[in-house]
Amino acid sequence: MNAYAMKQYQTVSVHAQVSEADPHRLIQMLFEGGLQRLAQARGALEHGNIPLKGELIGKAMGIIGGLRESVDREKGGEIAANLDNLYAFMQQRLSQANLQNDPAMLDEVASLLREIKQGWDGIRQS
């Protein structure tokens, strides 16, 4: 399967998942997408593909921005405020990682995102 066909298939697959997902699953998909982009950015950095690294970090920042927009600051109180601040911190660290080509910063953000995702995944199980 050529690269264009694979990309089209993936796009259709994602659109199908999004159209069928409940709000909880949509947030899980954002976490998954963010983690995937961070892993890809780290790989691009390790292989010296700086333009791709920048593009992928930008996508990860956009996903984290989407997560940040989903925080209900009015109903969530202090927890929501703390989560919003954590997302802002992650975006700042990704900006620094991009400028400094620092894989440790990418790992730091990925670790934070995984931790939040684990908590979010636990909500569904309760």
What CATH number has the domain bearing residue 52? 1.20.120.340
Q: What is the pLDDT of residue 6?
A: 47
- Cα angle for residues 99, 100, 105 (degrees, 5° grid): 105
Q: Does residue 50 lie in a domain region?
A: yes
Separation of alpha carbons 119 and 3, rounded Å: 35
Separation of alpha carbons 92 and 112, rounded Å: 13
Q: Is the pLDDT of residue 8 over 60?
A: no
Q: What is the pLDDT of residue 72?
A: 93
The total number of structural domains in the chain stands at: 1
- Contacts of residue 26, Cβ cutoff 8 Å, sequence gap at least 6: 18
Q: Is the pLDDT of residue 87 over 50?
A: yes
Q: What is the pLDDT of residue 67?
A: 96
Its pTM stands at: 0.82
Per-residue pLDDT band for 1 (boundaries 50, 70, 90) equals low
Structural domain range at position 104: 22-125
